[in-house]
Amino acid sequence: MSSTLLENLETTASFGPIHHLPHWSRFEADKVVPAVGELLDETEAAFDALEAEMAGGQASWDRLMVPLERMQIRLGVMLGTVGHLLSVKYSDALQEAYDAVRPRYVAFSNRMAQSRIIYEAMVAIRDSDAFTALSEARQRILTESIRGMERSGVHLEGEPRARYEEIQQRLSTLGNDFQTNLVREEKDSRIRIGDPQRIAGVPAPILTAAAEQAREDGIADADAQNGPWHFVVNGVNYMAVIQQGTDAALREAFYRAYRDRGTSEGFDNRPILEEMLRLRQEEARLVGFDNYAALSIDAKMAESVDDVWSLLGELEKAARPAAETELKALERYAREHGMADTLAPWDVAFVSERLREQQYDYDSEAIRAFLQMPRVLSGLFDLTERLYGLTIREAAADAVPVWDGSVRFYEVLSGDEVIAGFYVDPYARPGEKRGGAWMNTVVGKSRTLAGPGQSSSLPVALFVMNGRPPEAGKPALMSLDEVRTLFHEFGHATQHMFTDVDEGGASGLNLIEWDAVELASQFNEYWMEHKPFLKEMTRHVETGEPLDDGTIDRIIDSRNFMIGNGTLRQLLFGKVDLALHQRYGLPGSNDPDTPFEIEQQIAGETVVTPMLDDESQLPAFGHLFSGGYAAGYYSYKWAEVLAADAFAAFREAGLDDEAAVGEVADRFRRTVLGLGGSLPAADVYRQFRGRDASAEALLVDQGLKAAG
């Protein structure tokens, strides 16, 4: 029976030349434990055999690295599919199944990362004459695999080795608990409003969803016009209320509830994150680093922690004067319009929206009517064709297995040849889908996975958003921020899908340093500010008319509205992350400050807008405690510098010169998008730009520094 279960889950679907697509619906909770158990049995036996073979010497790429890749892919696909489903179709039963198999998976992953036999076999290849005969991609895969094993404690023996493995198990459990708490807490969260006067200004689709939630909660006669309204505390509802709701008490309730995520009884992430920080510091010391920040930076594009602090300081110095001027303008506007003599934290976004509307004369909520998701997607795909000579077409709704009926699948073509595919999961599903937006890989480009007649597998991506679901009979409407998010995530997908590297360990996003990973995504956002493109993307949902030129000009002109404060807020997150992983929880440390006191100290030094005295982002900061950004959140600003400098190359060529743009885009595709992790990110960037990036283009573009 067990063998049949494993075979059933590992059997994949195909769509033309695209293979290895999971049958998502087969991953039922009761199937996961026995299937993963058998898979681990088989993989552990294969690893035993590989170690025995390598112990005999004569290691080579084909005898060592290819079998390792096969094992890693097989395990990664199985656990990755389950992990993805937990993010988008959460259930307690699936979570329990994942919790049951995770310890053994983590233990085996640690064993692979700490195998002295495998490590010494890799070193033997690296130090042999055969190394120079390997391609650049293979050389980097081998070199970085060795470095990765060294960072994973391959040299540890005895008690330190056992302690390292114990830490890894515990961190895996804690990270999983951190994210699960947020999903479960959101499922239970409600802000209940019965007075129609209190919901003034809240967008109609948000009220419709809140009334529907009230009906699901047992109030049969709830309706969007008269209430009551049960708001789930998630990002979609929070942003709508905090920006548009005229009732300050409602905004305050949402602000406090959103800031309190991860702190309520039964879902409290505060002890979890404190323990994780201490364990990370202990892990770093075990493998020879002073602190976890140093361990993290060792695998990044930045050369040192000091280099990161230097960049953050440069950006903060440029942004602070603008932020202080912006705050004075907000306070003045609020006083003049009788809103408040002193801004409260829940007033800032609301007053900002009103000031932006006055200065730039457009209503961000009204703009949604011009941004129909099908049209926006079409515009994004047209941009891809213009830049890279590729076309994108949607598959029939039932052509590919999906995890939800709202998910769509697309294929990417170069001429008549299919080269990649991707899934899009666009809408929020409270209680079963975690918040935010992200891109992930389903299938990588790899020789190991090549199908019949193929030299390598075709890469497949997925990207997930949490937009407002469409109203009945209408297309989904998007905000400008949601469109920007779509472009951002698709930028990640281009780097995965358009790779020219067919060595799985270095194709797509693999081996790209974490602080360079956001380059392609943030670069893609810049096209939203190109007027001809933005106009073509807009059509009113009822009249079919595009946005007028004046409004589009004002939208583009407003791109740097509140940029000083936006920059300081991002710098706050990056500084807190780096400081915590440099100084908190070090073995033997006498630092009396808690993570929250460190956060509040840095907030007081960094941001100028008001915050609650005890406000903390940390209990809901999934990037740091259930994602991959620990001591790496600065990557967004580091890569933003790269992205601005990269887009400057297109501006220099002339954005309206199709031939010139095509030449730069071709070079961008062949280098930044094409080379993956086959070379260090700095070398790849130099191949594209002819030099290193500087912060000049970013600061000038954001109006934080004069041109020239």
List the catalytic residues: 489
Which structure tokens are listed for 499? 């790779």
Nearest to 137 by CA among 708, 674, 495, 620: 674
Residue with tokens 């070379």: 679
- What residue ranges in 240-337 does DSSP mark as E strands? none
Task: Give the Cα separation of 457 and 420 in Å (integer).
Answer: 9
Q: State the DSSP string of 114-151.
A: T-HHHHHHHHHHHTSTHHHHS-HHHHHHHHHHHHHHHH
Taking the mean position of all CA atoms in its chain, how far away is CA 107? 26
Which amino acid, residue 276?
A: M
68 HSE (CA, 13 A, CB side): 26
Is residue 426 within 8 A of residue 406, CB to CB? The reply is yes
Distances (CA, A) of 17 to 222, 420, 684: 49, 9, 30
- What residue ranges in 173-248 does DSSP mark as E strands? 191-193, 229-231
565 HSE (CA, 13 A, CB side): 16
CA-based torsion, 229, 232, 237, 239: positive or negative: positive
Is residue 668 within 8 A of residue 646, CB to CB? The reply is yes
Q: How many residues does the chain have?
A: 708
DSSP state of 98: H
Which structure tokens are listed for 22? 């999971």
H/E element holding 35?
helix 29-55
H/E element holding 423?
strand 417-427
DSSP state of 156: -
* Number of neighbouring beta carbons within 10 Å of residue 342: 9
Long-range contacts for 663-670 (Cβ within 8 Å, ≥24 apart)?
665/387, 665/388, 666/388, 668/387, 668/523, 669/387, 669/388, 669/498, 670/500
